[in-house]
Amino acid sequence: LIYCGSVLEDDASLESCGLRDGSCIYVLKRKEPEKPVPAKAISEASILQVATAFRSFNENSALRSALH
């Protein structure tokens, strides 16, 4: 619950927060924390393959413009 821009405490009564008749409060659902995605293991062969492909792009003037 949000009142006057402040999040109301769970154990506080609405009266103790200063709410009166006609006051406007907002009800929001808390966003669930995102679960971290585990890093994937990459083999050295895969890294070398990507490095070789990048080097080929960089050395070929016709393909170099695709990198920029």
Q: Are strands 2-3 and 6-7 parallel, antiparallel or unpaired?
A: antiparallel
Q: Is 13 left (phi over 0), alpha (psi -120 to 50) or beta?
A: beta
pTM to 2 decimal places: 0.41
35 occurs within a structural domain? no
| Residue span of the structural domain in which 21 resides | 2-30+40-67
Q: How far apart are CA 29 and CA 20, in angstroms?
A: 23
* Amino acid in position 48: L
pLDDT in tens, 10-59: 888 888 888 888 888 899 888 889 999 998 899 999 999 999 988 887 78
| The two three-digit tokens of residue 52, written as one number | 């070789």
**Number of domain units in the chain:** 1
7 occurs within a structural domain? yes
